[in-house]
Each structure stands twice: as C-alpha cells, then as structure tokens.
Amino acid sequence: MTERVVLAYSGGLDTSVAIPYLAEKTGAEVIAVAVDVGQGGEDMGVIRQRAIDCGAVESEVVDARDEFAADYCLPAIRANALYMDRYPLVSALSRPLIVKHLVAAARKHGGTIVSHGCTGKGNDQVRFEVGLGALAPELKVVAPARDFAWTRDKAIAYAEEKGLPIDVSAKSPYSIDQNLWGRAVETGFLEDIWNAPIEDVYSYTANPAEPRDADEVVITFDAGVPVAIDGETVTPFQAVAELNRRAGAQGVGRLDMVEDRLVGIKSREVYEAPGAIALITAHQELEAVTVERDVARFKKSVDQRWAELAYDGLWFSPLKHSLDAFIDESQKYVTGEVRLTLHGGRAVVTGRRSETSLYDFGMATYDTGDTFDQSLAKGFVQLWGLPSRMAAARDARFGGPSA
C-alpha cells in the first residue's frame, strides 16, 4: 500500500513545491492540510485548490478560528503569557493546534508521515515535532527545508521546472507569520539589529505617532474570560478580533525585540499584537484587584513558566497541564470590568471594578471612614522584623556583614 504524507500547507512557495517534491522523494501520496487560525490574506478555498493543482491527492481546509481563540488564545490571556515578559506567543500558540489537526488528518486518511516547512534553525520545527511525538508518536516526520537542504532558490527553480501554479516572481523582503493573535516579522534588513523598523513592516497597527482621538474601551471578564466589550457580549474570537481592530487603530501592540530562540541563537523579531496586549493588560489589572497576594505572587512565576513551555513547544507536556490546573483555580474570582484608554501606541488602565474585589475602600482610605486598626501595626512591624534583628545582632557579635 502506498504511504501517505500529511503536509502542513500554507499555500506559499515552500509548501507548494513540497507537494511534488515529497511525492518524488518518498514515493508517497501527499495530503495537504491548511488550518485557518485567522491569518487572513488569500481565500482558503483558493489555497485548497492550489494544493490539488500542485499534485496533492487530497486537500483539506480547517476553519479553526473559534477553536484557536477559545482553546489557545484564551488560556494565554489567563496566564498573562508574555515570553521574556514581552512576546505574546503569536506563532507559538498556533502550532499545537495545527499539530492536532495534522494528527486528525493522518488518522482520517491513513497517513504515516507528517511534513512541515520549517528550517533547522527555527523554533517551529520543535513545536511541530514534539507535539506530534506527544499526540501520535507512531508518525514519521519529514521536513524538506531542513532534511533535504531545500533552499528558496532551489524551490523557485523546481517550481518553474514543474510548471507549478504559484507566483515565484515577487519576494517579500520579510518572513511573516500571522494569525488572530498577532503578526511576526523577521529577516531582511531587520537582521541588522541597529536598523529601525519602517512603517512598511506593519500591517495590524497604525502609526502611533499620528495624531488621533483616544479610544476608551471597557472589557468585562468572567472567571478570567473576556465576555463583553463596552457591554456587548462577545465570544473569545470576537473579543480578540474587535480589540485587534480598535487597539490596532491606535498603534497598540508593536514590539521590536531580540529574543532567545529555543535552538540557542538570538533572533530579532518585530511583532504586532494589539488585541493580545490590550487583553493581557486588562486581565493583569483585574487580577491585581481580585487575586489574593500570595496567590498573585506565585502566579507570576507560573505565568512565566507557562509562557516558556508554550514557546518551547511543550504545550502537551505534563508540567503544562499541571500549570493549567493552577491557573484555572486562580481565575475563580477574576470577574469584573476594566476600562482602558487606547492611544499613542499604549493601552492604559483608567478604571477597574469587581463584585469579587479584595480592595476595601474603608481599609485603604486615609480619610474619614478609615476602618484599619493602626494600633495593630506596631506589634506587627516588630514581629515581622524580628528575624532580621536577631541575624543583625549575631553578625555584630561575630563580625558578619554590615549595612
């Protein structure tokens, strides 16, 4: 029986030439699977037909936009997921979802091999293959760009030789990956880290330096889930899409950073994630109001580790599942509203309210109505500092460290 390769298909040059090339190299039939995670651009029906025209025996398009928002973006909001405290996991979040659908397609069509278009120096090869190993370890993996040293020049020549129905004449100076959660741009002149980004780099966000009126938005959360914008009920997909539009129009969510790739090299990346940054900013503020101090302090380390696991391709790992359980419990009372002003490239919190708030006006105020018993503070301070005083006295006796 002829083997079948399930290919993660984007519709671009690299994955299009991979269809006939994989068939020649492996002798297998190729099934192309394109997963719509809100990347926009070409019509997905056109992409599906292109795969057939390039030689795929089957071509599937999966509309996973709502699934991506609810099962991947939403957990990232609740985890305040920012890799290196800045990057909102644009590409990293979509890969485990794509892996899930590649496995489903392999089982549906009798596939024994899975293929992707990643190179050997990027993070995505790890995310695809570690995810596949967790969900379907029996599947083999072939990565033409990595395993067969498949360069862009070779791909263009091969496409012309085979007469493939793709445009290979124009080449963007950038490598771009985008989805509902954001947009990642790299390579070209950006590889010189002294070069500043130009406006041509951006697509999801307007120039924040251009004068415009501010936009005020109120986001309602229920147990850490955004459920309404300005009082209008929204799904997770609608929440992200609407804030992409509104925050993006104010230039919110532009990031220019040098990040630590999983493979060990540093990489300069330019990101746009207006909805992600606005939602995480609002969510963090509501947590500050509703989450008890020690839980909040511990959750910061959980959030950081969660983001690292997602970035490192360990979405299906036992530790990630365990951290999910902690985060779920921590969100029990993260319910209320946060008001943001979107303007000049920033999302600034200007108000917050919650029926489950731990903020007590009577305890916090310095004016009339203060209910805080200050007579308790003196003894508290003495006991709190007791270990330090005892250690300082010991140091003085034995010549230890001094202030």
- What CATH number has the domain bearing residue 164? 3.40.50.620
pLDDT value for 277: 98
Residue 175 annotated to the active site: yes
pLDDT value for 168: 61
Shared-domain flag, residues 157 and 181: no
* Residue 330 is labelled as binding a ligand: no
Whether residue 71 is contained in a domain is answered as yes
Name the stretches of the chain with pLDDT < 70.
1, 167-172, 402-403
Shared-domain flag, residues 154 and 262: no
| Dist CA 31 CA 22 (whole Å) | 11
Shared-domain flag, residues 127 and 268: no
Shared-domain flag, residues 209 and 346: yes
| Dist CA 207 CA 95 (whole Å) | 29
Residue 360 annotated to the active site: no
Shared-domain flag, residues 143 and 18: yes
Which is the catalytic residue, given 14, 48, 78, 268? Answer: 14
Domain count, the chain: 3
Shared-domain flag, residues 129 and 230: no
* Residue 21 is labelled as binding a ligand: no
| Dist CA 156 CA 166 (whole Å) | 10
pLDDT value for 322: 98
pLDDT tens-digit series, residues 40-83? 877 888 999 999 999 999 999 999 999 999 999 999 999 999 99
How many other CB atoms sit within 10 Å of the CB of residue 3?
A: 13
pLDDT value for 171: 61
Beta strand segments in 326-370, E: 336-343, 346-353
* Residue 67 is labelled as binding a ligand: no
| Dist CA 259 CA 84 (whole Å) | 7
- Half-sphere exposure (CA, 13 Å, Cβ side) for 399? 0
CATH of the domain at 213: 3.90.1260.10
Best CA proximity match to 31, nearest among 10, 54, 60:
60
Whether residue 321 is contained in a domain is answered as no
Shared-domain flag, residues 244 and 132: no
Shared-domain flag, residues 167 and 218: no
Four-point Cα dihedral 197, 203, 206, 207, nearest 10: 10
Residue 95 annotated to the active site: yes
Which is the catalytic residue, given 50, 95, 246, 352? Answer: 95
Find out whether 286 and 336 touch, Cβ atoms under 8 Å.
yes
Find out whether 187 and 152 touch, Cβ atoms under 8 Å.
no
Whether residue 299 is contained in a domain is answered as no
Range of the domain at 390: 361-398
Whether residue 208 is contained in a domain is answered as yes
Find out whether 204 and 274 touch, Cβ atoms under 8 Å.
yes
Find out whether 147 and 21 touch, Cβ atoms under 8 Å.
no
Residues 6+ apart with CB under 8 A from 267: 186, 258, 259, 261
Shared-domain flag, residues 52 and 153: yes
Q: In the listed set 171, 200, 234, which residue is the last one of a domain according to the structure? A: 171
Joined tokens for residue 90: 């644009």
pLDDT value for 403: 56
